[in-house]
Amino acid sequence: MNKGENFHPVWWRNHLRGYGYRITIARQAILDVLSKTEDHLSAEDIFFAVYKKHPNIGLTTVYRTLELFVQMGLIYKFDFGDGRSRYELMGGPKGKEHHHHLVCTECGRVVDYTDFIDDELELLRRTEKELSKKYNFEIKGHLIQFYGLCESCRKKKEKIIE
Amino acid sequence: MNKGENFHPVWWRNHLRGYGYRITIARQAILDVLSKTEDHLSAEDIFFAVYKKHPNIGLTTVYRTLELFVQMGLIYKFDFGDGRSRYELMGGPKGKEHHHHLVCTECGRVVDYTDFIDDELELLRRTEKELSKKYNFEIKGHLIQFYGLCESCRKKKEKIIE
DNA sequence: AATGTTAATGAAAACCATTTTCAATAAGGT
DNA sequence: ACCTTATTGAAAATGGTTTTCATTAACATT
């Protein structure tokens, strides 16, 4: 952030280097976008956001980079059911706290919630432990999502019925 | 099942009729396939299974029927991350008991588990209640999945490292 | 700072699960 | 048996993602 450097925290640069990957403009730009948003961006969203400063970076590179980051565990990839994947920065210095999602099946709105996360995580840990023993799985992660109708979509439906 | 009738439990026929839909060969055949499998079938899997007895039923119809059944709440649609959707009969006379999934990210194997389902469901109900109040959502469902490596995939990886 | 090796990239084409179109068919009430 | 209209099949379209391949750029070495 200082001495004229671009925004590129040490942690993920080391992460990249540690895995033997190169630090490129595209990778910096993509992580930059992800670290500055509260939204759940699709590959195309990220492409457009990156495009503003780097119109030479292609959508293909965005896909490849996201795939790489997912493999490295730098970002999460989610499917909220609208036919495209969404990406979110994982924990770490610039990452948000652990949360789960509440998805409106009508308009696609996604709410990040952290309520009860502790209870959930405790149960998950217990369940993980037992499942890995019983089914011989090495468990790496979990997915919890709730689906429903958000307030405005609910109201729209009520109006139609009236 | 008796009197020479095909396999077509009353419950889903009424379900269909109740929604004003017609009972067709294709719909019978597709539900029949879903009710007789323990696997997590894709649309194509179902198409092939149906094809054996009804080579005239097209893949398009399979997709359309599955979509309809999902809307009606007769079946569940899952995404295990391999690029195609998987379908499962919901609860009901012929449905399996409520369960969650354990997915191997390497080979795609899916284990249905019911362990701790009660604890999970209790927590889910509590969480749902609070979330719907706090975020004004009408919650319709949830998704819980664990991801990891199954035993054989883990062993394969160990071999490569050696 | 110049050079060499090789990973990374962009553009275009390919891929592939799913959806749409549209004319033909069949479910089920009359 | 007939009529209305939902349902269907085949083929084409769609659209997110991946692959191909020649070019470019990271960065270790000199």
B75/chain A closest Cα distance in angstroms = 16
What CATH architecture applies to the domain A1-90?
Answer: Orthogonal Bundle (1.10)
A58 touches strand C (CB under 7 A): yes
Q: Provide the pLDDT confidence category of residue A161 given band limits of 50, 70 and 90.
A: low
Instruction: State how far the Cα of B158 lies from the Cα of B162, in Å rounded to an integer.
Output: 6
Query: Do B97-162 and B1-91 fall under one CATH topology?
Result: no
Phi, psi (5° rounding) for residue A38?
-100, -5
Q: Report the chain B residue with the minimal C-alpha distance to residue A150.
A: B137
Question: At residue A118, does pLDDT exceed 90?
Answer: no
- Looking at residue B93, its pLDDT comes to 52
Question: At residue B3, does pLDDT exceed 80?
Answer: no
In this complex, the residue with its CA at the shortest distance from the C1' of nucleotide D9 is: B58
Instruction: State how far the Cα of A82 lies from the Cα of A106, in Å rounded to an integer.
Output: 10
Nearest DNA or RNA nucleotide to B56 (CA to C1'): D9
Q: Give residues 120 to 149 of B whose Cβ lies within 8 Å of A.
A: 120, 123, 126-128, 130-132, 134-149
A45 contacts chain B (CB < 8 A): no
Mean pLDDT of chain A: 88
Q: Provide the pLDDT confidence category of residue A15 given band limits of 50, 70 and 90.
A: confident
3-state secondary structure chain A: CCCCCCCCCHHHHHHHHHCCCCCCHHHHHHHHHHHCCCCCEEHHHHHHHHHCCCCCCCHHHHHHHHHHHHHHCCEEEEECCCCCEEEEECCCCCCCCCCEEEEECCCCCEEEECCCHHHHHHHHHHHHHHHHHHHCCEEEEEEEEEEEECHHHHHHHHHHHC
Instruction: State how far the Cα of B31 lies from the Cα of A51, in Å rounded to an integer.
Output: 47
CATH topology for B1-91 is Arc Repressor Mutant, subunit A (1.10.10)
| pLDDT tens-digit map of B18-73 | 888 999 999 999 999 999 999 999 999 999 999 999 999 999 999 999 999 999 99
Question: At residue B7, does pLDDT exceed 90?
Answer: no
A11 contacts chain B (CB < 8 A): no
Percent of chain B with pLDDT over 70: 90
Query: Per the structure block, which two tokens stand in for A152?
Result: 């405005």
Question: At residue A119, does pLDDT exceed 70?
Answer: yes
Domain residues of chain B, as ranges? 1-91, 97-162
With an 8 Å Cβ cutoff, are B147 and A150 in contact? Answer: no
Q: A147 pairs with which residues across the strands? A: A103, B141
What CATH architecture applies to the domain A97-162?
Answer: 2-Layer Sandwich (3.30)
